Amino acid sequence: MIGPGAEAFHHVIVTLRDRTEPVYRLSMKTIQVSSEFAAPVERVFAVASDFERGAELVSDIRRVEMLSEPPHVPVRVGTKFRETRTFMGKEASETMEVTSVSLPGESPDGSAVYVLEAHSHGTDYVSTVTVTPAGGGGSLLTYSFEATPRSVMAKLMSPLGGLMAKSVREAFARDQADIKAAAEAGEGVGEGGRGEAEVAVGG
């Protein structure tokens, strides 16, 4: 649940390529967006990694198809899903897989993190979601997104330049606002659990 997938980028890249003016983007970029939450790490991480409920929790996500075997909570390496979302006015789907996880309570600094990878249209996409403790019992949620073009065409039409980077940041900010609303309303896990559902406040 981390912003637009590779297929959404492909739609926009094709649109840019078909414009009359030339578009040259040769550099790879990493985009980061962070938000502070008045909720603990455990709860924020639980909401941010609840892929199965993505369409319920995040307004830009239209539907999610889980491709890996349950259980899906807590998130684990090998968790795989196909997410369909709206990005820059287009609906697109992408398959993503969790390749690394550190659950709440496993890191000495109190942080939690998972990494998603996708491969599409000659580009590798790596998304890292990190939740770290903040003052007053709150937390900081950070999205880090990296696109590495592998094919010649992908390198010529690198997807994280200019308008695209701005649109990605805006999409991340919307996602984080939705996750913030859910986490601060009480969605997530109990104080002692990792993946134990807590009754949502306010429906």
Average pLDDT of every residue of the chain: 80
67-85: pLDDT as tens digits: 999 999 999 999 999 999 9
Q: Say whether pLDDT at 116 is over 50.
A: yes
129-176: pLDDT as tens digits: 999 999 999 999 999 999 887 765 555 555 555 667 888 889 999 999
DSSP helix/strand/coil, 3: coil
Cα–Cα distance, 3 to 186 (Å, whole number): 22
| pLDDT confidence of residue 153 | 56
Range with lowest mean pLDDT among 35-44, 110-119, 135-144, 184-193: 184-193
Average the pLDDT over 83-97 and give the result.
91
Report the chain's terminal Cα–Cα distance, integer Å.
Answer: 21
Radius of gyration of the chain (CA): 17
The reply to whether 53 falls in a domain is yes
What domain count does the chain have? 1
Report the CATH number that the domain containing residue 155 is assigned in CATH.
3.30.530.20
Q: How far is CA 130 from the centre of its chain?
A: 10
pLDDT confidence bin for 90, thresholds 50/70/90: confident
In 3D, which of 149, 178, 152, 130 has the Cα closest to residue 32? Answer: 130
The reply to whether 202 falls in a domain is no
Tokens 């403790």, residue located: 133
Two tokens, residue 153: 């065409």
The reply to whether 13 falls in a domain is yes
Per the structure, the complete domain to which residue 167 belongs is given by: 6-184
The reply to whether 201 falls in a domain is no
For 19-34, b where at least 16 C-beta lie within 10 A, e where not — what string? eeeebebeebbebebe
The reply to whether 39 falls in a domain is yes
Do 131 and 183 meet the contact criterion of CB atoms below 8 Å apart?
Answer: no
The reply to whether 189 falls in a domain is no
The reply to whether 197 falls in a domain is no
Cα–Cα distance, 102 to 51 (Å, whole number): 16
Cα–Cα distance, 157 to 12 (Å, whole number): 10
Average the pLDDT over 24-48 and give the result.
83
The reply to whether 191 falls in a domain is no
